[in-house]
């Protein structure tokens, strides 16, 4: 079996598990779905929230140089004009000349084994012709044209040019437009950062690969404002912090790779960019990015708004427009990387076992509590006592009395629960329970009063 077939099978298995166990569902599934949208079920929303909370704690709450904001999704259209999104936020679109289906040209080129990185639309056209690249149906393609990915809407009852707004395609601009607000209210020392988590929207031509590329997603972004002469040390600091983040969410370092993006492939505002790529089942793809954006954004705001974005350096007479280091994290890609890393198959007692080897701090459910037999009131009562105790102290605890113990273990394994606690007749005698470890399947007897300390370790 080829490596690609194995990867595709793994991706299909993850997608199947995600739906079967209540992690991720197709958006609007009951009505036939809506391409490029996904709904997070009870376990998926918990996993997603755990990842986002960890990010916020690491990069905002635990730091003295960071400030959090939550900017509006709808913004004045001048924001997107000044940032260049109205004019340039576009993908190369081609059309199947027979079926009229539309595709991203660079994706078709990549699928054919070539690269469109850094190419103009004219060069992409030439490459398609030269290599004989066709649509997935085998038909000829139209010439490339520009497709702006922003969702356009109108604000208020009158639809005219003045009422145009957009669903934001990134959270970064909400940070830049609040730069002066943060400076004027907190007057932080340089360097300092502003962090934000929130929804972003891109009208992708061809969303694909599960949650990797979708039309509605969440970002966790930081704009770190620095003195122009000291950007390199801050860039290196954030490069190291990105590695710590990958470690914190359980990604093996061997599966994360730095790609120094060459000048011709960087965004027009960037003077240096590192793409952190991950070995997903779909192949090596971008997980997150780290960019040096210079003063591009604040400079544009200053030019278009007419309001000064200068910062007065404390203790000096120096005034300057700060430069920016931007670590940009996609929530969905982090979720997909975590699930891809955690998905594990092994054999227990001659039977195939599937489990999610999630880091305990990210697992949607930390403990599952079960009475050995659900038709024995004394066991159920004692198990409820243990369940309520853990629920109060930990929160993420599940009651599970459905099926035999073996089936309960398999079900909890699939959702990544680190510990299963079983209350049996011995519990009634000596107040000990059986704790079963997800990864090793080992079972140990522990006093009820001692459950939490070893589990935390």
SS3 sequence of 149-185: CCEEEECCCCCCHHHEEEECCCCHHHHHCCHHHHHHH
pLDDT at residue 454 in the model: 46
Radius of gyration of the chain (CA): 26
Instruction: Name residues of the chain where pLDDT drops below 70.
Output: 1-7, 453-457
Asked if 356 contacts 44 with a C-beta cutoff of 8 angstroms, the reply is: no
pLDDT at residue 206 in the model: 82
Q: How far apart are CA 25 and CA 77, in angstroms?
A: 33
pLDDT at residue 160 in the model: 86
Model pLDDT for residues 2-34, shown as the tens digit of each residue: 455 566 889 999 999 999 999 999 999 999 999
Burial 54-65 (b: 16+ CB within 10 A, else e): bbbebbbeeeee
**DSSP letters spanning 339-359:** HHHHEEEEEETTEEEEEE---
Place of tokens 């599934």: 29
3-state helix, strand, coil in the chain (%, to 5): 40, 30, 35
Model pLDDT for residues 193-206, shown as the tens digit of each residue: 999 999 999 998 88
pLDDT at residue 4 in the model: 57
**CA dist 317 → 155, 311, 312, 320, 322 (Å):** 43, 11, 7, 10, 15
Asked if 202 contacts 171 with a C-beta cutoff of 8 angstroms, the reply is: no
pLDDT at residue 5 in the model: 57
Bridge partner list, 92: 146
Which residue ranges form the domains of the chain, and what is each CATH number?
A: 3-76+158-339 (3.30.930.10), 90-148 (3.30.40.230), 365-456 (3.40.50.800)
Length of the chain: 457
pTM comes to: 0.90
């Amino acid at each position: 079996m080829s490596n690609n077939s194995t990867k595709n099978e793994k991706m299909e298995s993850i997608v199947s598990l995600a739906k079967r166990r209540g992690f991720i569902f197709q958006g609007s599934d009951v009505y036939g779905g809506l391409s490029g949208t996904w709904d997070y079920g009870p376990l998926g929303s918990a996993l997603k929230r755990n990842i986002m909370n960890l990010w916020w704690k690491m990069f905002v709450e635990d730091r003295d140089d960071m400030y959090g904001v939550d900017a509006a999704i709808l913004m004045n259209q001048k924001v997107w004009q000044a940032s260049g999104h109205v004019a340039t936020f576009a993908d190369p679109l081609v059309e199947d000349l027979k079926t009229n289906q539309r595709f991203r040209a660079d994706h078709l080129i990549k699928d054919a084994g070539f690269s469109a990185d850094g190419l103009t639309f004219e060069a992409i056209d030439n490459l398609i012709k030269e290599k004989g690249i066709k649509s997935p149906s085998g038909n000829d393609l139209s010439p490339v044209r520009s497709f702006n990915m922003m969702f356009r809407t109108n604000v208020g009852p009158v639809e005219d040019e003045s009422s145009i707004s957009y669903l934001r395609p990134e959270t970064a601009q909400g940070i830049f437009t609040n730069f002066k607000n943060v400076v004027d209210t907190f007057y932080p020392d340089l360097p300092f950062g502003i962090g934000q988590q929130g929804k972003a929207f891109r009208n992708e031509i061809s969303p694909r690969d599960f949650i990797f590329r979708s039309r509605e997603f969440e970002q966790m972004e930081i704009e770190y404002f620095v003195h122009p002469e000291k950007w390199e040390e801050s860039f290196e600091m954030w490069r190291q912090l990105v590695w710590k983040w990958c470690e914190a969410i359980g990604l093996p370092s061997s599966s994360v790779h730095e790609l120094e993006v060459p000048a011709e492939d960087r965004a027009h505002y960037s003077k240096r960019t590192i793409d952190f790529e991950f070995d997903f089942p779909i192949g090596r793809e971008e997980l997150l990015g780290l960019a040096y954006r210079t003063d591009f954004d604040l400079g544009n705001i200053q030019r278009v708004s007419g309001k000064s974005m200068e910062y007065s350096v404390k203790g000096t007479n120096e005034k300057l427009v700060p430069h920016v280091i931007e670590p940009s994290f996609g929530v969905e890609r982090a979720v997909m990387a975590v699930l891809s890393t955690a998905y594990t198959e092994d054999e227990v007692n001659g039977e195939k076992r599937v489990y999610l080897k999630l880091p305990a701090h990210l697992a949607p459910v930390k403990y599952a509590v079960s009475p050995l037999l659900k038709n024995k009131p004394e066991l159920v009562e004692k198990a409820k006592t243990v369940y309520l105790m853990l629920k109060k102290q930990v929160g993420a605890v599940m009651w599970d009395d459905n099926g035999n113990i073996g089936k309960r273990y398999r079900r909890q394994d699939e959702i990544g629960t680190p510990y299963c606690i079983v209350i049996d007749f011995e519990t009634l005698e000596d107040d000990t329970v059986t704790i079963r470890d997800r990864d090793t399947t080992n079972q140990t007897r522990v006093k009820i009063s001692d459950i939490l300390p070893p589990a935390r370790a």
